[in-house]
Chains A and B, each alone.
Chain A
């Protein structure tokens, strides 16, 4: 008996007119299914080659959603109509700030279970593996809803090419905005920075950085690495870094391919926010810091010597 193929929608995220790398990983999570890429652009034809290369059977341009102040209530309702239009069995997205919000709205509207921030996905089995207890454990959860809803942790699933046809189509929804909320302002003060959750490489600083100014040393290194800067809770509480870049409990969970911890001792809560990174490197003056017992590579040394030297070598 042939295995059942599920009609699987993947919400594609766009950055600078290109498909985000993280969305390609979500397409790989849906490999083997009949994939509908839902693209929030009036005309997605420019993305045909890329999407087809990563296994998309149908490329759906969703009309009328390019406004960056579109109400999330409206966007969720539009996607619900797309699910119905194409008879989708599953809908997957990226577990970044936008995807988590949107999928929670869709789950609420349809009263369907949502598995968020997953690191492994089994669409036919309606199962996924996700973080539990603040990153300390992985839970395998099975759901029984009609629509399988799931967001995938950025970088957790490596994108693999799987050429498909990538047939273009357009979708126009008749969904209405309930008019409950209005986005009145977008504040992009730190604009142009890489998103911490989605970055393939993260370099983080702890209390040993001593001042907010010294975080510029990490910025310089992150620029060379093509990565983002994170901070420990101690550094955030001391006022050296904004809460938006805190890694660990009450901050963000990241899963980059390389995590470099600078002057971070390695509290349980911090590890919980980065332990699924592929490679972890620690730089710390204290050779007995707990972080050295739980990472891959360590340099015992002064961060103010080591980090600039590293930046120069890159």
Chain B
């Protein structure tokens, strides 16, 4: 079995973001990590191959610096990597999907494709869908359980109000995963060392026939979400505090 895992190199969400100019951010001091949802995708793919045999190939679309994320994925047990190189952390999920598909076509048929349910930087939550459409295969996103039986795939995904649905589809298919699916492993030193010797194939985006100028989404402005200045602390006994809180929420804020 061959499994592709699509991974994104993103700013660590523990960082604060510094806006630079009108429509950009300053990434010079920012630590980058594997997109957190993609860790669940990597863990799932690696454990399936450990059980059933085959190989896991990670594909990353990103800048040169994304090589750190690729090494982290390889250390988790991925067999080899494809790095589609770009000049920018581009926004357009349609182009990302086209690039991923082109790389998969070049590399050869995959039985399963895992992605995270979305990325924590651009928060578009659409690359899995666009990739599946380009490949002409089914997709389910927000998946917290996966089981395989021959070429039949059964997944559980969230549909709101805490309710879930169980969906069956044929492989190949795209599965976008979320927290709850598994516990991603921490690579041991040996695996980190081994990862340094694994193959990373580098492809330049334009060599896949993708033209960045065909993007349809443009950032016009980036601003920090305003912070609040600090709480008004309510005083007195518990009863006084709670009485005042209810009054404030009803009369001043009108939210009750």
Interface set of A (CB-CB < 8 Å, partner B): 69, 73, 96-98, 100-101, 104-105, 107-109, 111-117, 127, 130-145, 180-191, 193-198, 201, 225, 242-246, 249-251, 257-258, 268-269, 272, 275-276, 278-282, 287, 291-301, 305-306, 309-310, 313-314
Contacts and interface: CB of A to CB of B under 8 A. Distances in A.
A101 B130 contact: no
Interface in B143-196: 144, 154, 156, 158-170, 173, 178-180
Given A116-B126, A133-B11, A306 B242 contact: yes
Contact of A137 (B25, B156, B216): B25
B217 interface: yes
Interface in B214-229: 216-225, 227-228
A293 B230 contact: yes
Interface stretch (B47-55, B75-83, B102-110, B115-123): B115-123
Overall SS of chain A's interface? mixed
A269 B14 contact: yes
Contacts of A194: 161
B25 to A, nearest CB: 7
Contact of B160 (A98, A109, A130, A201): A98
A182 B162 contact: no
Contact of B243 (A112, A187, A258, A313): A313
A182 B168 contact: yes
B126 to A, nearest CB: 4
B248 to A, nearest CB: 6
B216 A143 contact: yes
A275 B228 CA distance: 9
The 7 A-B residue pairs with the shortest CB-CB distance in the complex, in nearest-first order:
A298-B231, A180-B138, A108-B133, A97-B160, A140-B221, A190-B162, A185-B166
Nearest to B97: A108
B233 A292 contact: yes
Contact of B218 (A142, A245, A298): A142
Given A136-B225, A295-B228, A189 B162 contact: yes
Given A141-B220, A180-B169, A250 B133 contact: no
Given A188-B163, A276-B225, A297-B231, A250 B238 contact: no
Contact of A299 (B120, B140, B159, B241): B241
Contacts of B13: 133-134, 249, 268-269, 272
11 contacts: A132-B123, A133-B13, A139-B23, A140-B221, A141-B220, A180-B169, A180-B170, A181-B169, A197-B160, A296-B253, A306-B241
A306 B126 contact: no
Contact of B234 (A115, A243, A294, A299): A299
A187 B234 contact: no
B71 to A, nearest CB: 22
Contact of B120 (A117, A134, A145): A134
A296 B238 CA distance: 18
Nearest to B247: A313
Interface in B1-37: 11, 13-17, 19, 23, 25, 36-37
A139 B161 contact: no
A258 B248 CA distance: 12
Contacts of B19: 137
A139 B219 CA distance: 7
B255 to A, nearest CB: 4
Contact of A313 (B165, B217, B222, B246): B246
B123 A301 contact: no
B99 to A, nearest CB: 14
B203 interface: no
Contacts of B227: 275, 294
